[in-house]
A and B are shown apart, each in its own frame.
Chain A
Amino acid sequence: MASSEVGRHLLFQSHMATKTTCMSSQGSDDEQRKRENIRSLTMSGHVGFESLPDQLVNRSIQQGFCFNILCVGETGIGKSTLIDTLFNTNFEDYESSHFCPNVKLKAQTYELQESNVRLKLTIVNTVGFGDQINKEESYQPIVDYIDAQFEAYLQEELKIKRSLFTYHDSRIHVCLYFISPTGHSLKTLDLLTMKNLDSKVNIIPVIAKADTVSKTELQEFKLKLMSELVSNGVQIYQFPTDDDTIAKDNAAMNGLLPFAVVGSMDEVKVGNKVVKARQYPWGVVQVENENHCDFVKLREMLICTNMEDLREQTHTRHYELYRRCKLEEMGFTDVGPENKPVSLQETYEAKRHEFHGERQRKEEEMKQMFVQRVKEKEAILKETERELQAKFEHLKRLHQEERMKLEEKRRLLEEEIIAFSKKKATSEIFHSQSFVATGSNLRKDKDRKKEPGCGFELLCVDVRTCENSGGRKDAEKAPIFCKTEVPEHRRSSSQANFIKKKLEVCFDFAVFICFITLYLVNGHSY
């Protein structure tokens, strides 16, 4: 169902309306009403809506409250102890070390209940603040943390399907700044940090461990601190003085800032009462004694009187400022270039279109680049292909030429073979003829031989027919004249035979080799 957060939301907003009309007095309300043409009527009976605030309060009780405190101060200055004392419990915590390399923020949430009010309290502690040797960046993690909480809330608020009423509000409502009780003035680190935090969070400065400062010194110290803060333009939280019931108290308290506090959970018996105090050999510092320290004032101001106002200020002032800056940073404006009001919707849509357009353009570009690259690659590939083709052709041509040459050689070789075998045949015939007719043939031969420049003629005879028919007849019948030159010094048959055989073998071998080569070449050319 509904929630108090919403009620508070409405409250904050409506409250701020009254705040803007300068600490709303009745007169301004009437004027406003007159301006809006609203009639103020009196009722003639009891209607019963004075229970409205109660309805609101019931809703808030049902929902519960949440409050977030940020404690900034050096290690060991008493932050955790003060929080324990403020809320009268012992929150689980351990002592932090002094040796952290940078400032870290530690947040813990507790649930407190008093009668029917449930409070979700979040305490954020700075761990390691002021411990580093170089403290220039000490304040940055704190600022970042505060911004992160605002950012989370803004994100939730800007969602389409949002659930603001069940959202756990983690924005820091108040920052307790612990000042070391040196008695002199503000440290530079303190000044720097406060300057950076004052526009983001409500700062309440407190003087920690105030039992080390004597009363007279305390007065001067407070004055000095406040004047330093004012002269440096640090805006600390001022308790509101617009509501009559609490204006006087708040104004008085404003003059007592910063509060000098002492924290302790130890119980000490003083008189016949047991009070929270710190025991020293020279006396007992009672925490809740207003003469000893301002603890009670702090508790009253922080929790009893102004908790709601702190939360409201955070929401309406600090958060709105953050939101405005953030949205303006992103480029949203309320007024367009022609001074016409531009809604967030339109700006958002315009940006969205722009963004889409940009993205499309980039996609196009990438596509173009891709196409370009592909083309180039293709061109290169074609080039190489062509080169390969050319090479191949070239090689093919070479092969062809080789082949032709080899063919040529083969032909020549075959011709030689034919001539040689003819010559072989004729020489055989001559041999066989020489046994029968000694003179004439030889003479013929010799005569023939005497002629110079006798051509080499190979006598091709069918050797088989010579052998079968005894040679002579056939030799006369079918001689194919290829005259060959028989070497002069070798006429004897045996030597001629031997040489013949050798030549035959050689020729056979050569032919064989040629055929093999041709075969291989042919094979390769395919």
Chain B
Amino acid sequence: MDPLRRSPSPCLSSRPSSPSTPPCEMLGPVGIEAVLDQLKIKAMKMGFEFNIMVVGQSGLGKSTMVNTLFKVWKSNPPGLGVPPPQTLQLHSVTHVIEEKGVKLKLTVTDTPGFGDQINNDNCWDPILGYINEQYEQYLQEELLITRQRHIPDTRVHCCVYFVPPTGHCLRPLDIEFLQRLCQTVNVVPVIARADSLTMEEREAFRRRIQQNLRTHCINVYPQMCFDEDINDRILNSKLRDRIPFAVVGADQEHLVNGRCVLGRKTNWGIIEVENMAHCEFPLLRDLLIRSHLQDLKDITHNVHYENYRVIRLNESHLLPRGPGWVNLAPASPGQLTTPRPFKVCRGAHDDSDDEF
């Protein structure tokens, strides 16, 4: 018998049964909705955390994109004069930004050197390792006896994958990477440097990429299986139709028609970053920040982290002398709404667990 479950609950009969709750009519205002304000006040005081990872070959404009998203200009512009590193490295930088009383602790993880070598075998391993390391840290914190009141959340909430604008289809490296990463983290693919493609080329490229994703069963964010109700599905279907977004990043401002806009100046015109007719950067920004940030965090916490936890806890129960899989309570029907293909998941984790 599991030593953790040895003690039976002392008062078995007095637990209220949750399912049957008769709805009651209130005869007047009580003030329950004030709880929403209470929530807001608390949230504002505490601040938010968001961890984003950008993955792509060098020169695709990852750092510029991050700057454009969060409109924070770093002192040294990236990439110039610095030779691409020989192996994949991971740089994590944390900033705290505030807007109208809301504090956001933003952590951006950059991956210079991804896909830049001649032999790119297993170049996703360090990335997977990093992601799993964050999960592991969180898990260890959660399992302590004396827990901290607030466990610092360094788990990667979203991974933006930059697809080079070849105009043809996804490359084998892209497919391999996306397949592995979609099981572990929310992935949002974008077409980088989209100003080198015309509108028609963009559309065709997008369709081909979507087809590739479908063929290889790659489930990018927003995942269809997590749509809760019809509203969500409608909203997310619109988004899914436009993924991957064709984005352009810019960190310089130019004067266009008397307005000061962010854009790239070329000999044949100025590409306005925030103009929907020019590129889909606003869609990406809205997805990541304005509408789905909380959702990204929730899915990371409820699905990806829980999957990692299950696998991790099951693995550690393997007794050395024989088959010792702990067969705990089978998944209740409520959990079938979050299906996870464990086979592929475990494969990815085995790769990364070797590094520990």
- A→B interface (CB under 8 Å): 1-3, 6-8, 10-20, 24, 33, 36, 38-62, 65, 86-89, 91-92, 104-117, 119-120, 122, 124, 141, 144-145, 147-149, 151-152, 155, 158-163, 165-166, 168, 170, 243, 245-246, 299-300, 303-309, 312, 316, 320, 323-324, 327-328, 330, 332-334, 343-345, 348-349, 351-353, 355-356
A348 CB, nearest partner CB in chain B, Å: 7
From B4, B31, B40, B286, contact of A300 by CB (8 A): B31
From A20, A55, A304, contact of B291 by CB (8 A): A55
User: Are the C-beta atoms of A170 and B150 separated by less than 8 Å?
Assistant: no
B299 at the interface (CB under 8 A from A): yes
Q: A90 to B333: give the CA distance in the assembly, Å.
A: 35
Q: Which of B17-25, B77-85, B123-131 contacts A (4 or more CB under 8 A)?
A: B17-25
Contact with A along B6-41 (1 / 0, CB 8 A): 110111101111101111111111111111101111
User: Are A38 and B99 also in contact (CB < 8 A) when A51-B290, A303-B34 are?
Assistant: no
User: Are the C-beta atoms of B18 and A112 separated by less than 8 Å?
Assistant: no
Q: A61 to B38: give the CA distance in the assembly, Å.
A: 13
Q: A49 to B262: give the CA distance in the assembly, Å.
A: 19
Q: Which 8 A/B pairs are nearest by Cβ-Cβ distance?
A: A2-B298, A16-B149, A17-B150, A168-B18, A107-B16, A55-B294, A344-B143, A13-B150
User: Are the C-beta atoms of A60 and B24 separated by less than 8 Å?
Assistant: no
From B17, B34, B328, contact of A304 by CB (8 A): B34
User: Are the C-beta atoms of B42 and A15 separated by less than 8 Å?
Assistant: yes
Collect the chain B residues with CB atoms within 8 Å of residue A107's CB.
Answer: 14-16
Contact with A along B39-50 (1 / 0, CB 8 A): 111111111110
B254 at the interface (CB under 8 A from A): no
Which of A17, A24, A47, A170 has the largest count of B CB atoms less than 10 A from its CB? A47
User: Are the C-beta atoms of B35 and A89 separated by less than 8 Å?
Assistant: no
List 11 additional contacts besides A14-B46, A348-B3; criterion CB under 8 Å. Answer: A2-B301, A11-B46, A12-B149, A43-B70, A47-B71, A58-B294, A111-B23, A147-B9, A307-B32, A332-B145, A345-B313
From A41, A308, A353, contact of B72 by CB (8 A): A41
Please name the residue on chain B nearest to A300 by beta carbon: B31
Which of B16, B98, B306 has the largest count of A CB atoms less than 10 A from its CB? B16
User: Are the C-beta atoms of B289 and A88 separated by less than 8 Å?
Assistant: no
- Tell me the count of chain B residues lying within 8 A, CB to CB, of chain A: 103
From B30, B73, B94, B232, contact of A114 by CB (8 A): B30
From A33, A117, A145, A160, contact of B35 by CB (8 A): A117
A15 CB, nearest partner CB in chain B, Å: 5
A377 CB, nearest partner CB in chain B, Å: 33
User: Are the C-beta atoms of A355 and B21 separated by less than 8 Å?
Assistant: no
B19 CB, nearest partner CB in chain A, Å: 8
User: Are A119 and B147 also in contact (CB < 8 A) when A50-B100, A160-B326, A162-B306 are?
Assistant: no
A510 CB, nearest partner CB in chain B, Å: 84
Tell me which residues from 74 to 100 in chain B have a Cβ below 8 Å from any Cβ of chain A: 94-100
User: Are the C-beta atoms of A88 and B298 separated by less than 8 Å?
Assistant: no
Q: Is the interface of A mostly helix, strand, loop or mixed?
A: helix
Q: A469 to B4: give the CA distance in the assembly, Å.
A: 119
From B7, B11, B40, contact of A105 by CB (8 A): B11
User: Are the C-beta atoms of B24 and A112 separated by less than 8 Å?
Assistant: yes
User: Are the C-beta atoms of B26 and A87 separated by less than 8 Å?
Assistant: yes
How many A-B Cβ pairs are below 8 Å?
318
User: Are A60 and B39 also in contact (CB < 8 A) when A14-B150, A49-B290, A120-B21 are?
Assistant: yes
User: Are the C-beta atoms of A59 and B298 separated by less than 8 Å?
Assistant: yes
A-B contact pairs, 16 of them (CB 8 A): A2-B298, A10-B153, A13-B148, A15-B45, A15-B46, A16-B148, A41-B97, A49-B99, A49-B102, A50-B101, A55-B294, A56-B40, A109-B17, A163-B332, A299-B31, A353-B319
Q: A160 to B311: give the CA distance in the assembly, Å.
A: 9
Q: A163 to B301: give the CA distance in the assembly, Å.
A: 11
A339 CB, nearest partner CB in chain B, Å: 15
Collect the chain A residues with CB atoms within 8 Å of residue B146's CB.
Answer: 324, 334
Collect the chain A residues with CB atoms within 8 Å of residue B101's CB.
Answer: 50
B213 at the interface (CB under 8 A from A): no
Please name the residue on chain B nearest to A108 by beta carbon: B16
Q: A49 to B96: give the CA distance in the assembly, Å.
A: 12
User: Are the C-beta atoms of B31 and A152 separated by less than 8 Å?
Assistant: no
B116 at the interface (CB under 8 A from A): no
Collect the chain B residues with CB atoms within 8 Å of residue A119's CB.
Answer: 32, 35
B215 at the interface (CB under 8 A from A): no
From A1, A144, A246, A345, contact of B295 by CB (8 A): A1
User: Are the C-beta atoms of A160 and B328 separated by less than 8 Å?
Assistant: yes
User: Are the C-beta atoms of A145 and B36 separated by less than 8 Å?
Assistant: no
User: Are the C-beta atoms of B319 and A41 separated by less than 8 Å?
Assistant: no
User: Are the C-beta atoms of A245 and B97 separated by less than 8 Å?
Assistant: no
Collect the chain A residues with CB atoms within 8 Å of residue B105's CB.
Answer: 38
User: Are the C-beta atoms of B145 and A327 separated by less than 8 Å?
Assistant: yes
B211 at the interface (CB under 8 A from A): no
Collect the chain A residues with CB atoms within 8 Å of residue B46's CB.
Answer: 11, 14-15, 17-18
Collect the chain A residues with CB atoms within 8 Å of residue B299's CB.
Answer: 1-2
From A112, A160, A246, A312, contact of B32 by CB (8 A): A112
Q: A20 to B9: give the CA distance in the assembly, Å.
A: 32
B238 at the interface (CB under 8 A from A): no
Q: A149 to B32: give the CA distance in the assembly, Å.
A: 24
From A33, A57, A353, contact of B96 by CB (8 A): A33
User: Are the C-beta atoms of A161 and B329 separated by less than 8 Å?
Assistant: yes
User: Are the C-beta atoms of B326 and A88 separated by less than 8 Å?
Assistant: no
Q: A348 to B313: give the CA distance in the assembly, Å.
A: 11
Collect the chain A residues with CB atoms within 8 Å of residue B45's CB.
Answer: 15, 18, 24, 243
User: Are the C-beta atoms of A305 and B34 separated by less than 8 Å?
Assistant: yes
Q: A309 to B41: give the CA distance in the assembly, Å.
A: 11
Collect the chain A residues with CB atoms within 8 Å of residue B226's CB.
Answer: 1-2
Collect the chain B residues with CB atoms within 8 Å of residue A168's CB.
Answer: 18
Q: A24 to B150: give the CA distance in the assembly, Å.
A: 14
Collect the chain A residues with CB atoms within 8 Å of residue B294's CB.
Answer: 2, 7, 52, 55-56, 58-59
B144 at the interface (CB under 8 A from A): yes
